[in-house]
Amino acid sequence: MKSVSVKEWRQGHVIVLFGLLMGGLIVALWGVLTATYVRGDPRNQENVNAFCGILYYILPPVIAGLVGSGVFSAELERGTLPLLLGLPFTRRAIWLGKLLAGLALTYSAIILAIAPAAIATRPAFEEVGFWGFAPDMLIWTMVFFCISFFWSTLCGSIMSAALATMALSGALFVGTWFVLAILGGRLTGSPLLDAELWMLAVCPALLVGSYVGFVRGELLQSKRRWVLPSLAALATFLGIALILVVSVRWETCYVRSRVERIEWSSLTGGGSAVSLLAYGSPVKHRALEAGWFRLGESQHRSKHAVCVDLKTGNELLVRRETKPPVVSPDGKLAAVLCGPRPLTWFDEDMGFPLRTVEIWDLRQHRLLYRGLPEEFMDPVPPELYSAEWSPDSSWLALTSSRWRGEWGADTLPLMFMRPDGSQAHEIELGQPQSYWYSCDWAPSGEAVYVLEEGGRLARHSLAEAESETIWEAASCEGLPSSFRIRRGKIAVSPDGWRVAVALVGYPHQDGAIMRQTDRFFVFLVAADGSRSQLIFKSSADPVSGDEALHFTWSQDGKTIYLSRVVPVVRGSRTADRRAEMIVWREGAKTAVLSALPAPSSELDTALLPGGNLLILSGKQLWFVCPDGKLRSMPRDVVRSFADSALLGLDNEGRAILVKRKEGGYIAAADLTTGEVTRIYP
């Protein structure tokens, strides 16, 4: 083996001089460009440095490809391979000697090409951060050498091996991007390091294929010389890839004690559970790479959707890389929207459409249904956004959009299905570019009320899959004829007798849109559409965005609370935001408007037993009585709500909070004593 390596070094030492020559040519090019372009305009120096620095990135792979392509194919072209095989060396020793000699020639040539240039063209190296990526260049050099070494074993000429090296290198780059971006094969969170690890997984496979092709003695024989090396390389790569995927999935599996941040928390299951996204295993980037790729430090390798029982604090369901589960009001079923399943985990910046719904039995922890009914797949599969159960847990509603062409989505279908996927049907709504709609369930769960653009309120019967218009804003008294609606919100009363409708819009006169003043209207519409009542109207300050609207009915259906956040505009700029409560009591002709004392852009509400409403706005906490009056809470209770977001009340009457400290955690607060109990994680 030593003799073979010495022979290869003597025959290929010219490549070392080639590396030195190429390094000198780049130095000369840098000097010529500096003298020509920089002398006239010093601002061009950075461009010259960047151009020459990029050449130093290209040079090592080129040298590796040239050396590897000629290791075996040069012997074939010269006709000296039979003589080499006739020497008293085993094929294993010949193969290993050529491999070691090729690596020595490659890295010697690279060192001689870069080391002198690092002194003469130091600004070029600093401009592209070459020394920070020097370890990466060593890895990519090894990758290109292994690719060319593999093809040198199978091809009969240096040119054929070089062309095959270029083709396979391009295919591997595309394949690596596909594995990382599409299949979710992230390993460390660093884009460059992930690509390098997958490429390094290819290197042993190519070396095994080259070894098998040479040692099996099929180098000069039939076409079978392609079969065994290719199969050996493929099998080796699949084995290494399996080890990588299993190792990363094991290291990033869900462990409650490793959860470092939670997001997208919501109360579900009729107040019996909370759903959230739990993040762990944070990604740490090199400082140089983070600046080069503009990467942040907020990504995590472990991302799981978790559903937690508020009574016991135990996990009801844990799913990797999905949306948070939505639990049915009876607490028996959970719906999960999911997309493609990753090999390891997806980059948070990559958004993939969700086209699958899973229905889980939480008591038996069993998957009941996965997929989408065939009725939803025609003409093209929809992209799912959210899921919501009917009050009786017998229907599941899915909001979605259906994209039919490159010009955008044609419709926003509102889809309905049973938990087992049966009786599937949908309502075709408008285009999402300029469309809005609001929907709410009837208390019985037999129908859905939908308010569409233009102020059309329809009742959709689920059993018959039919829609009926019960009210239209255009024909309602109290609303100007020139009123253009840009947003609306509805809420059905718990007794099913009324539908509260809030409309935000602007006047439209003589073909001109007058957006100087927004107007706000609130109607109460009978469930059958036989009558309607205007209970509130106002002209707000000019606003640049939509107002935050949220309805809350009392349990007896006799009081309704409407909370909203309105920007306060002074001059042409938004100076602040204020939170307001609109309260209507049965028997009153109009609603009462109460502005909260402290300005805030946040507003969380929860209905308390007895008809009072709990409001958390910034650092302030109040009771809202059915008559619209505000009452402050005790200081101990207010203190327990500090730095929190209110999700609602659980079945035991505790306020469920999301604390923002320590990456966020779920806690329950006693409204009487103010005692806070940590639930998750």
- pLDDT number for residue 223: 64
In this model, does residue 520 exceed pLDDT 80? yes
- pLDDT number for residue 121: 80
Coil/strand/helix, residue 355 = coil
Number of neighbouring beta carbons within 10 Å of residue 589: 8
Number of neighbouring beta carbons within 10 Å of residue 90: 11
Give the rounded distance of the alpha carbon of 657 from its chain centre.
25
User: H helices then E strands: how many in the chain?
Assistant: 13, 34
In this model, does residue 390 exceed pLDDT 90? yes
Name the least confident of 143-152, 183-192, 481-490, 648-657: 481-490
Determine the residue type at 145. F
- pLDDT number for residue 129: 77
Name the least confident of 40-49, 182-191, 582-591: 40-49
* 247-277 residue pLDDT tens: 999 988 999 999 999 999 999 998 999 999 9
Angstrom distance (rounded) from CA 542 to CA 515: 7
Strands 261-268 and 604-607: unpaired
For the chain, give the percent of residues with pLDDT over 90.
27
In this model, does residue 595 exceed pLDDT 80? no
Number of neighbouring beta carbons within 10 Å of residue 293: 12
- pLDDT number for residue 547: 57
- pLDDT number for residue 247: 92
In this model, does residue 198 exceed pLDDT 70? yes
Angstrom distance (rounded) from CA 520 to CA 488: 10
In this structure, what is the dihedral angle of CA atoms 329, 333, 338, 340, given to the nearest 10 degrees? 180
133 against 150, higher pLDDT:
150
- pLDDT number for residue 217: 61
Angstrom distance (rounded) from CA 665 to CA 667: 7
For the chain, give the percent of residues with pLDDT over 70.
85
11 against 412, higher pLDDT:
412
- pLDDT number for residue 8: 62
Strands 498-509 and 512-513: antiparallel
Angstrom distance (rounded) from CA 26 to CA 51: 10
Strands 273-282 and 425-427: unpaired
Q: What is the mean pLDDT of residues 534-563?
A: 76
Contact between 241 and 268 under an 8 Å Cβ cutoff? The reply is: no
Determine the residue type at 473. A
Name the least confident of 111-120, 323-332, 530-539: 111-120
Q: What is the mean pLDDT of residues 499-512?
A: 75
Please state, in angstroms and as integers, the Cα–Cα distance from residue 365 to each residue in 312, 330, 360, following that order: 16, 15, 7
Angstrom distance (rounded) from CA 672 to CA 623: 13
Name the least confident of 47-61, 191-205, 570-584, 589-603: 570-584
In this model, does residue 405 exceed pLDDT 70? no
598 against 418, higher pLDDT:
418
Name the least confident of 72-86, 314-328, 412-426: 72-86
Q: What is the mean pLDDT of residues 422-433?
A: 77
Angstrom distance (rounded) from CA 66 to CA 6: 19
* 354-377 residue pLDDT tens: 899 999 999 999 999 999 999 888
Q: What is the mean pLDDT of residues 593-617?
A: 78
* 199-227 residue pLDDT tens: 999 999 999 998 888 887 655 555 667 88
* 293-318 residue pLDDT tens: 556 556 788 899 999 999 999 999 99
Contact between 593 and 536 under an 8 Å Cβ cutoff? The reply is: yes
Please state, in angstroms and as integers, the Cα–Cα distance from residue 495 to each residue in 389, 499, 526, 527, 574, following that order: 18, 10, 11, 10, 40
Contact between 151 and 168 under an 8 Å Cβ cutoff? The reply is: yes
* 445-476 residue pLDDT tens: 899 999 987 788 999 998 888 888 898 887 77
Coil/strand/helix, residue 431 = coil
379 against 111, higher pLDDT:
111
The half-sphere exposure of 256 on its side-chain side, counting CA atoms within 13 A, is: 13
- pLDDT number for residue 42: 65
Angstrom distance (rounded) from CA 218 to CA 215: 8
Q: What is the mean pLDDT of residues 137-165?
A: 88
The confidence band for 238, taking pLDDT boundaries of 50, 70 and 90, is very high
Q: What is the mean pLDDT of residues 402-408?
A: 62
Q: What is the mean pLDDT of residues 584-611?
A: 80
Angstrom distance (rounded) from CA 670 to CA 636: 10
Average predicted confidence (pLDDT) for the chain: 83
* Per-residue tokens: 213: 């092709």
In this model, does residue 510 exceed pLDDT 70? no
- pLDDT number for residue 545: 45
Angstrom distance (rounded) from CA 305 to CA 358: 13
In this model, does residue 433 exceed pLDDT 70? no
In this model, does residue 4 exceed pLDDT 60? no
- pLDDT number for residue 663: 85
